[in-house]
Structure 1
Amino acid sequence: MSKHFICLVFLLAIFCVQGFADEMKLHVLGNKNQGYYVNIYYGSQLIMEQGKAGELDLYFDNEDYSVRETLKGWKATSVEQSERKVVLSGNVYLKKLEADLSVNVIYEVVSSQLVSKRIELQQNNLSLLYYSVGTFITAADKPFAFWSFDDNENMGGVAHETYPAAGYMLNDTLAVGLLTDAGDKNLWTRNIRRRPSKQGEIGFRAIREICDANLIRIVDERQRQKGDYSVKFTFGEVSDFNHPVNTCFYPVPEIQKWKSYAGASLERNGNVFTVKGNSVQSEISGVRIPYKLSDGFYTIRFKHRSANPITVKLWKGEGTGSIDVAGLHYQTDMPSSAADWVQQEETVFIANTEQELTYLLIAASSLQKGSDFNLEITDLEVIRSDAHNYAYHCLKQNKKEVKRVFIFATPAQPTLHDLRLASQVYLADGLGFKGTTEEKCLYACYQMLMWITSRNNFTPLNVPSINYAPDMYNRDSFWSLMGVYDKDASEEIFDAWAATQDVRGAIGTIITPCMGSREVKGNDATLEFLWFALVNHRLYGTPIPMDKIKKAFNFCINEYDPDGDGICAAEFVLGQNDVVEYPDKTSDLAVNQGMFAVTLQVAKELGLPVSQKYVEKANQEYRAFYDKKRGYLIDNRKYPYSITFNSLLPEFVSWWLFDKPILTSEMVVKTLDKVPVKNGYSPLIFHEKDTFFTMENKPFSPNMFWDNGIYYNAGSWMREEVCGYVAGLKHGWKDAKKRIKDRLAVEITLHPDEPFSHEFLPYDLSVSGCWWPSTRVFSWNVFVLRALEVAGMRSPLQDPGYFKYVLKQH
C-alpha cells in the first residue's frame, strides 16, 4: 500500500472523528450601537475574527452607473441566536440612492467542521440596483501561511486557479478555508478570455470586460504587515478594461537581464533586438524577458521579422514548463516574415503573480533540429490597464438576492494534498451531498465548473475544466448534467443547445462567450440532444420540444443512415475518442453503431415513428462487431487489434435509459477480460497485445500521436471506464465491483498532490511530463455518480437535488 494512500486514510479518519474533540462554534459579539458580528471558534481556538472587518463589504450602482453608494464593514443592528444558528439583520438607508436596504446574514453550523454563511439582500425603492458584495474570513493573528487551491504558500493577490478555494493555516496543523456555492447559483464566472477569431488570430485573447476578476483575493505582504490577515470573496463585480482608470507602460528591461532560451544568442542594434540560433536542438528557441508585473490586464505589442513562425508565452518565475505558464498558453507558431516587419499584439489577464518576476518568451518556433534561425524584435511594449470596476449583479425591486459561502476548519498538514481534498469534501458536505470521499470530489469539481455565461447572460455555462474555458462542449455538458439532479441547470443548458440547431436539424458542438462558433456537424452532439430531452422529461417533467426533436432526429437519419438499412455511417467518432475523422464516412466503428442503435430507441420513446424492426436491425449491426475468434468487441474494423471502453458505452447507455441489454453477456464479459489493469486502473483504448500504440499502428489521425499512456494512447479516462464496468456488472462480470471501487480510489490517490477529478490519468508514470496541468479538475466525471446508481452502488437520494427536483415533481 502506497504511503500517500495511507496518509489519505489517516486524514479521512481525522475528518470523521475529530468532531468528538472539537467542533465549530458561533460567537456573537458587539452591540446595537456598534453593530453585531460573528466570530467562529473551532473548539477553543478562534479561527475567524470579524471585529475589524465586519461581516460584508457592499457597493451599489444605479442603472445608468451615475450614482454609487458604498457600504464597508457592515455589521448588524439585531441578532437572533440558537445553538447552531445565528441570524444577523439590519436595515440601511442608502442616502445617495434614496433606497432602504434590508440585509440578513445567516450563519449555520453544518457539521463539526463546517459552517454555512448565507447573505440575503432586498430593496423595494428602485426598479433595479446593481450590487457587489464581498465576504471574508480573517485570522485574529498572523497565520502560519495563506493558501489557495493550487498554492499552499500563497503570497497574496488575486487567485485565479483550477478550483476557487482559499484560506489560511493556523500553526501548521489547522486549515481554515472559504468556499463558494456554484457559479450558476452565486452568479460568478472564471472566464478571462475568448476564442481567437479565424481572421488571423492565434490563441485565446483576454476579454476586455472580465466578471469576477477579483473573486478571490488574499492579502499580500504589505497588507499583512499592517495586521490584515484576510481572505476575501467578491461577488458581482465586473472589471472594465475598455475604459481603464489608469495605464502603466513598462520600460524594456536592460538587455543584460534578458535570458537565453534553448541556446539562442542576443544582439542589440539601437531599438532592434536580434535573436539567433545555430544548429538548434529544440523546436523553439528565443529569449526570456523579465518583467515585474502585478496581477492584471496587459497588452503586449512588438514587431518581428523572421523566416520562421514565432511563439509567445508568459512564465511565472524561473520555471519554463507547462505548469509555469502564466498566460498566452496557445500563442504558438504565429506567422512572421523574413522580409517585412509583422505587428504582433496580444492581450492577457494574469493572476497569482505573488511578487515574482514574469518572463515574456519571444521565440522562433517550428525549428528543425540542427538548423539556424534569425529573429528580429523591435518596438516592444508591455502595458498594464487598471480596470474601472463596477457592480453587475441585479437587485431588483422587492426581489431577494442570495449568496452562500462555507467556512471550514480541519486538522491538516500545509500540503496541496490536504488543502485540495478538504476544499472538495467540505464543499460537497455544505451542499448537502452524501457519498464517499471520491464521490464528493467528483461532485465538488463539477460544481466549481458551473458558471454563468457572461455579464449580460446569467444562464449556466458548464465548462469541462479551467483549461478548456470558456467553451461549453455539447458532449461534456450533457454527461455532466446527467450526473447530478438539477432541473434548472439541466433545462437551461438543454435550451442553450436547442438554440444552436441549424436548418438541417443538427446541434452545435460548442457554446463560447464573446465569439461565435459555426461548428455544427455530424458528431455525437445531436444524438445526445435527443437523449437529453428524454432524461429531462422523465426526471423533471420537462415538456418535449417536438419541433426541434423531429428536426434533430431527421438530421440523424439523413446523416447516418439515409438508406434506412440500420447501418450507421459517419464522418466522425460518435463518442469521446474524437482524434480521427472520416471525410468519406465510415461504418467501421462499434461505438458509432451502438450510439445510433440507442438513439433509435430514444426516438421511439420520445414518440417518433420508429419501428421496432428498425431498432433491432441497428442492434444486430452493433452486435456484429463482436469477433468470437478474437474474443472481444472490435472497436474499429480497420484496426482490429484496438480495444476500447468506447465500444461498450452504448451498452451501458441501454442499461441506464432502458434497463435492458443490446449485447450478449459473452460479448461484454470477454471484452472486459481483455482489459489490462495496473494499480487499480486501466487504459481507455489500447493495443490488444502491446497496450500502447506506435507511430506505425496508431488508430488516430496522421498528425496526432502521444507518448505511452498519455491521452488516447492508452491513457485512463474514468467516466467511460466505470461505465464499461457497470455494463459488465449487469452481465455478471465477477470483477466489476472491485474494478469500480479501485478506479474511484485511484482517481484521487495516484498523484499525491492531485486528489481530484482528472481529464485522464497517465497509464505509464515513467514517461516524463506525463501529468499534464491541463487535466486538473474535470467536470464530466461527475456522471460516474449516475453510473453508480445504475450499478446499485449509490442511491439518488444521496444527491440533494433528487428530493428537491425529482421527488417533489412526482
Structure 2
Amino acid sequence: WKATQVKKENGKIILSGQVYLKRLETDLSVNVIYEIVNKNVVSKQIELQQNNLSLLFYSLGTSIVPECSPSSYWSFDDNMNMGGTVHETYPAAGYILNDTLAIGLLTDAGNRNLWTRNIRRRPSKQGEIGFRAIREICDANLIRISNKDERLRQNNFVKYTFGEVSDFNHPVDTCLYPIPNVTTWKTYHNGYVKKHGNIYKIEKRGKEVSGVRIPYYLTDGFYTIRFKHRSNNPITIRLFKGEGIENKDIIGLHYQSDIPSLQSEWVEQEETVFIANTEDKPIYLLIAASGLNDSSSSLLIKDLEVIRSDAHNYAYHRLEQGKKSVKKVFIFVNSSQATLHDLRLASQIYLAEGLNFVGTTEEKCVYACYQMLMWITSRYNFAPLNVPSINYAPDMYNRDSFWSLMGVYDKEASEEIFNAWASTQDERGAIGTIITPSMGSREVKGNEATLEFLWYAWVNHKLYGTPIPMDKIKKAFEFCMNEYDPDGDGICAAEFVLGQNDVVDYPDKTTDLAVNQGMFAVTMQVAKELGMPVTQDYIEKTNQEYRNFYDNKRGYLVDNRKYPYSITFNSLLPEFVSWWLFNRPILTSEMVINTLNRIPYRNGYSPIISHVGDIYFTQENKPFSPNMFWDNGVYYNAGSWLREEICGYVAGLKHGWKDAEMRIKKRLAVEINLHPDEPFSHEFLPFDVTIPGCWWPSTRVFSWNVFVLRALEVAGMRLPVQDPGYAKSVLSAGR
C-alpha cells in the first residue's frame, strides 16, 4: 500500500489513501499516523475503515525494514536471532545497525491490538498429561524475522502480523519426517538404544529420567508426534532446541512428564505441539523413562511418526461497516551494546513510554510486562484475557488477574474481566478459580477468588462508577458466610490458604492461618459497604481474631499456629488491603513493625515465607503439602515475591516503620538487577542464587507485579495521574 496524501498536523505525519478491493466491491480507507513520543520512540497508528460491506475480515502486517543489511537481528530472548517465527516471553524484536544501534518494533497490548499468544490447551480427559497444541491458532506468526534464505536475497525485515488465523484442521500440506538412523541418537542421562526390527529398546541406567534424544531438523510450525510404548515406568517426552538438555533448552512439550505406561501391552501416545524459534537448528526429541531408581530397566517404542502440518492461513479480524479499526505499534532506537540485558530493558522502557506511562525504570518494567500479558480470549471472543505469564498461558487465573487489573487504571478491561469472573459463579455463589480458553474448567472451590470478587465489585464501583450486580454479590456473600464461618463466631475456617501460598490445602478445614482470618475480616468490611447484612460488632470480632495471631512472646505475627516458626509477608497482606481500601489499620503498629523486623533480609530483599530462625525449611519441618518441596531459596522455600513484599513494606510505612521507604526502593531495584540478563518482572526471585537451577525459565515476565504501582500510591510514593489510563478511566467517569 502506498499513500496518496501526506500532511503534517500537530507534530504528527499522517499518510492516507484508498484501496479499491475489486473482488469485494468496496473501498478501504487507510490512515497511517506517525508521532514522535520522545527522542527514542515513535508511535505508528494504522486506521482502517470501509463503508460498503456489512462485514470485512482482514489481517494486517506492518514491518520495519533496514536500508542495508543489519549487523544482526534480535528478539526478547535471543540477542542473535537467526530468523523465523518468534514466540517468546515478551513480543519484541528488531535488528542492530553497525553493532551499535538497536532498532526495535513493539506492539500495543493484545486486548487493544486484538492479538493472542495462545498456542495450546489443557488436557481434554483424565489421565492426559501436559498441554496440547490447539488446531486453530490465532496470530501464530505475530512476530517474524527474516530467515537465512530471505537475508541472502536481501529481504531484511522484522514484522508483526495481526488478525491471521492458522487452521491446522484443514492443512494445505503435511510432511512425514523419516526416523533418523539409530546411530545418530544421543544419550540422555546414560540411556542408550538398541534396534530389534521395528522396535527400539531404550535401556535406562540413570536416576529419575533416562532415555535418548532423537535428532530432527524441524522448521517452525505445528507437529503431531505419535508412537507406541511399553515400560514398567512412566515416560517423559520433550523437544529440545539444539543438543541442549537443560530446562532453558525445552522448545516444546514442557509438561509431558511421568506419562503412564504399561509393561504388559502397548500404549498409544499422540501429542500435538506448536514450535517456534527453531532458527534452522536441529531439534531433539527426547523419549525417556522417568521415576527411576538405581536399578536398570527398559522402555520399548515403535511406530514413531513426526508429522508437520502446514496451515491454511486466513484473516479473522472484523472490520464492520462504518466502524474504524485501529492498530498501534512503536518503533524505538537505542544506542547500546547488543546485549540481552540492554535489549530486554529497552523493550520494556520504550513500550511504557510509548503508552505515555510515567515512572521509574522499575515501574516501567512491571507496567510493560503486564501490557504484554493482556490478550484477547480467542478467535471468536475478543474479550480481554490476562495471563500470569507465558508459562501459565493460556489460562487466566482469576485470583492473579485481580491483582493485575487493580494495578492499572483501565475501566473497560477491568469491567470485562470482572464480568468473565461473574460468569463462572456456581449455584452456591462461588467464583471459579480459572478461565481456560479452548477448554472448560470446573474448578470452583473455597479459595480467595470469591472474597476478591466482592472487593473487585466495590473497587470498580468506587473508581469507575460501575454498577454493582447485587444478585451476584448477594450469592457470593452467602457463599463466603456458609463456607468460612457457618457458626457465626467470626473465626475463619477454610480448606485452602486464602492467599497466594497455594502449595498446601486442608481437607478438614483449618482456623490456624493468619492470612485467612485477615482476608475474611477485610471482606466483611467490604461486604458491609456493598450493603450486605454485616454488623460492625461482627466485623470487630473478625478483626480481633486476626490480631490474636500476634504472639507477644515470639514478637511477630504467627503465620500458621501448627508451624509457629513460619513467618510470612502473606500474613501482613490483609493489613495492607485495609489501608488500601479503607485507609485504616486492623493491626497495631507494634504487631506490624515487629513482624517486619523479624523477617530475614539481605542484599535488598526478603523471602515471602521462611523459617524465622533458619530461613529455609527442611523436609521435616516444611509447612507445605507432603509432595511439595523446593531447594533453599526457591519458590515457596524462601523465594522472594515482589508484590507481597512491597505490600508488606507499605503496611509498615503506614505504621511509621523507619526502614519502609528504603526497603521498597531496594526491593524494586533488586527485581530487575539481581540477574544480569533478566531486567524484568519475575514470578519469584531465588533467595540463594548459588543453588544450581534456581533461575527458572518459567518465571520470566510476570503480570501481577504491576499491582506494586497501586501499592506505591498507597505509600504516597506515586501519583495516579502517572498512569495514562487514569484520566480516561477515572477522571472521565467523574470520580
TM-score bin (small chain): over 0.9
The match for 1:488 is: 412
Aligned counterpart for 1:439 among listed residues 363, 366, 371? 363
For residues 544 and 804 of structure 1, the distance between their equivalents in structure 2, rounded to whole angstroms, comes to: 21
1:512 aligns with 2:439: no
Q: CA deviation at 1:199?
A: 2.9
1:686 aligns with 2:610: yes
Distance 1:105-1:626 versus aligned 2 partners, 3 A rule: same
Amino acid of the structure 1 residue aligned with 2:127: G
Structure 2 counterparts to residues 129-148 of structure 1, below 5 A: 129-148=56-75
Is 2:191–2:206's contact at 8 Å kept on the other side of the alignment?
no
For residues 236 and 481 of structure 2, the distance between their equivalents in structure 1, rounded to whole angstroms, comes to: 44
For residues 195 and 299 of structure 1, the distance between their equivalents in structure 2, rounded to whole angstroms, comes to: 16
Aligned counterpart for 1:382 among listed residues 306, 322, 325? 306
The match for 1:157 is: 84
- Count of aligned positions: 734
Amino acid of the structure 2 residue aligned with 1:288: R
SS of match in other structure, 2:82: coil
The match for 1:402 is: 326
The match for 1:169 is: 96
Deviation per residue, 1:740-780 (Å, 9 max, x gap)? 00000000000010000000000001100000000000000
Aligned counterpart for 2:48 among listed residues 115, 118, 121? 121
Q: CA deviation at 1:659?
A: 0.2
SS of match in other structure, 1:442: helix
Amino acid of the structure 1 residue aligned with 2:72: A
For residues 678 and 533 of structure 2, the distance between their equivalents in structure 1, rounded to whole angstroms, comes to: 49
For residues 233 and 645 of structure 2, the distance between their equivalents in structure 1, rounded to whole angstroms, comes to: 43
Deviation per residue, 1:327-366 (Å, 9 max, x gap)? 0001111111111111100000000000000000001111
Q: Which has the higher contact order (CA 8 A, sep 6+)?
A: 2
The match for 1:255 is: 182
Structure 2 counterparts to residues 223-262 of structure 1, below 5 A: 223-262=150-189
Amino acid of the structure 2 residue aligned with 1:724: G
Aligned counterpart for 1:355 among listed residues 280, 285, 288? 280
**Unpaired runs of 5+ in structure 1?**
1-73
Aligned counterpart for 1:210 among listed residues 123, 130, 137? 137
The match for 2:21 is: 94
For residues 327 and 387 of structure 1, the distance between their equivalents in structure 2, rounded to whole angstroms, comes to: 18
Deviation per residue, 1:481-533 (Å, 9 max, x gap)? 00000000000000000000000000000001111111100000000000000
Amino acid of the structure 1 residue aligned with 2:65: T
Q: CA deviation at 1:81?
A: 2.0
Q: CA deviation at 1:82?
A: 4.7
1:270 aligns with 2:197: yes
SS of match in other structure, 2:292: coil
The match for 1:697 is: 621
Q: CA deviation at 1:269?
A: 1.2
Q: CA deviation at 1:679?
A: 1.0
1:314 aligns with 2:239: yes
Q: CA deviation at 1:222?
A: 0.7
1:418 aligns with 2:362: no
Higher alpha-carbon deviation: 263-272 or 152-161: 263-272
Is 2:680–2:701's contact at 8 Å kept on the other side of the alignment?
yes
SS of match in other structure, 2:149: helix
Q: Percent identity?
A: 76
1:341 aligns with 2:272: no
For residues 776 and 260 of structure 1, the distance between their equivalents in structure 2, rounded to whole angstroms, comes to: 29
Deviation per residue, 1:96-132 (Å, 9 max, x gap)? 0000100000001111111000000000111101000
SS of match in other structure, 2:263: coil
SS of match in other structure, 2:206: coil
SS of match in other structure, 1:111: coil
SS of match in other structure, 2:284: strand
Amino acid of the structure 2 residue aligned with 1:257: T
Moved over 4 A (4+): none
The match for 2:218 is: 293
For residues 663 and 207 of structure 2, the distance between their equivalents in structure 1, rounded to whole angstroms, comes to: 42
1:598 aligns with 2:526: no
Deviation per residue, 1:197-235 (Å, 9 max, x gap)? 233311100000000000000001110111111000000
Q: CA deviation at 1:607?
A: 1.1
**Unpaired runs of 5+ in structure 2?**
none
Aligned counterpart for 1:329 among listed residues 219, 244, 254? 254
Q: CA deviation at 1:438?
A: 0.3
The match for 1:220 is: 147
For residues 389 and 720 of structure 1, the distance between their equivalents in structure 2, rounded to whole angstroms, comes to: 44
For residues 795 and 241 of structure 1, the distance between their equivalents in structure 2, rounded to whole angstroms, comes to: 48
Amino acid of the structure 2 residue aligned with 1:645: F
Amino acid of the structure 2 residue aligned with 1:808: S
The match for 1:756 is: 680
SS of match in other structure, 1:284: strand
1:178 aligns with 2:102: no
Amino acid of the structure 2 residue aligned with 1:158: T
1:546 aligns with 2:473: no
The match for 1:452 is: 376
For residues 720 and 174 of structure 1, the distance between their equivalents in structure 2, rounded to whole angstroms, comes to: 38
Is 2:518–2:546's contact at 8 Å kept on the other side of the alignment?
yes
Distance 1:437-1:707 versus aligned 2 partners, 3 A rule: same
1:284 aligns with 2:212: no
SS of match in other structure, 1:504: coil
Structure 2 counterparts to residues 718-757 of structure 1, below 5 A: 718-757=642-681
Q: CA deviation at 1:83?
A: 7.6
1:617 aligns with 2:544: no
For residues 201 and 696 of structure 1, the distance between their equivalents in structure 2, rounded to whole angstroms, comes to: 32
For residues 764 and 470 of structure 1, the distance between their equivalents in structure 2, rounded to whole angstroms, comes to: 30
Aligned counterpart for 1:527 among listed residues 422, 426, 451? 451
The match for 2:128 is: 201
For residues 82 and 319 of structure 1, the distance between their equivalents in structure 2, rounded to whole angstroms, comes to: 53
The match for 1:302 is: 227
Q: CA deviation at 1:281?
A: 3.5
Amino acid of the structure 2 residue aligned with 1:275: I
For residues 738 and 512 of structure 1, the distance between their equivalents in structure 2, rounded to whole angstroms, comes to: 40
For residues 346 and 486 of structure 1, the distance between their equivalents in structure 2, rounded to whole angstroms, comes to: 39
Structure 2 counterparts to residues 562-601 of structure 1, below 5 A: 562-601=486-525
SS of match in other structure, 1:467: helix
SS of match in other structure, 1:650: helix
Is 2:600–2:612's contact at 8 Å kept on the other side of the alignment?
no
SS of match in other structure, 2:651: helix
The match for 2:733 is: 809
SS of match in other structure, 1:228: coil
Is 2:638–2:687's contact at 8 Å kept on the other side of the alignment?
yes
Deviation per residue, 1:359-393 (Å, 9 max, x gap)? 0000111111x111111110000000000000000
The match for 1:29 is: none
1:471 aligns with 2:395: yes
Deviation per residue, 1:645-673 (Å, 9 max, x gap)? 00000000000000000000000000001
The match for 1:645 is: 569
Amino acid of the structure 2 residue aligned with 1:570: A
The match for 1:26 is: none
For residues 757 and 428 of structure 1, the distance between their equivalents in structure 2, rounded to whole angstroms, comes to: 14
The match for 1:661 is: 585
SS of match in other structure, 2:391: coil
SS of match in other structure, 1:155: coil
